[in-house]
Amino acid sequence: MGQPGASRGRPATPTVGKAMLNKYARAFFTRVLTPFAAFLIRRGVSPDTVTLIGTAGVVAGALVFYPRGEFFWGTVVITLFVFSDLVDGNMARQLGRSSRWGAFLDSTLDRVADGAVFGGFALWYAGGGDDNALCAVSIFCLASGQVVSYTKARGESIGLPVAVNGLVERAERLVVSLVAAGLAGFDTFGVPGIHVLLPIALWLVAVGSMVTLIQRVVTVRRESAEAEAADAQDDEGDQHNASHGSEAAT
């Protein structure tokens, strides 16, 4: 689902795997997974292949289990494939690879995985969950997550720093949703009342995503105005210097 930015040719951004593991746990799993990553390299497996397999596993876990209300097992499957974040990143570091293609593939498949998770929730509430309101909230979480990511990418593509993270970024959206889904899955094991955690999480993600979207739009608007003002000042300075140059020549 994504290699760390330093190894894949883009600025480091939190992925769901990295967000679910603190720095000490990541260091532990990095040591544990390094031999496995080296084994895959010796077998000719590329980091991109691991990324694709990891994303396919997340998509399968979300779209096979979640629409049937099997939130516990779906989350278990997704979590297992989340470790591809550490394996493919480890492989990329060992190979010393950094490429625009890797960054593009990483970001694109992140969006696919996000869509599958919230799409799985939406399918459940449109079917067996029988709750149109929560189906709509799930769809909003899916769409707003894509737009939040797009605002930053688009702002950076036109030369703006987009110097704001926002209230709820991708890592927070996924961790809150997946943890709530996994816990809600204990309802099938007879734990009473725990199923309410997923609706609460979806509402929190929806509101947080809206706030984050507004934060990023406001930031891009401010940075755009500042950049245009700076450009105007530069133009005035160039014109002033040109006029002085003409006077000196005469």
Known catalytic residues? 110
Positive or negative: CA dihedral 92, 93, 96, 100: positive
Q: Which CA distances in Å does 215 have to 15, 145, 162, 191, 207?
A: 21, 14, 10, 38, 12
Dihedral angle of Cα 80, 85, 87, 88, to the nearest 10 degrees: 140
Which residue matches tokens 């943890």? 179
Angle at 180 between CA 179 and CA 181, to 5 degrees: 90
HSE-up of residue 65 (Cα within 13 Å, Cβ side): 20
Tell me the C-alpha distance between 28 and 166, whole Å.
Answer: 29
Residues 6+ positions from 17 with CB-CB distance below 8 Å: 1, 2, 82, 83, 84, 85, 86
Q: Which of 84, 82, 78 is nearest to 62 (CA)?
A: 78
Tell me the C-alpha distance between 198 and 207, whole Å.
Answer: 14
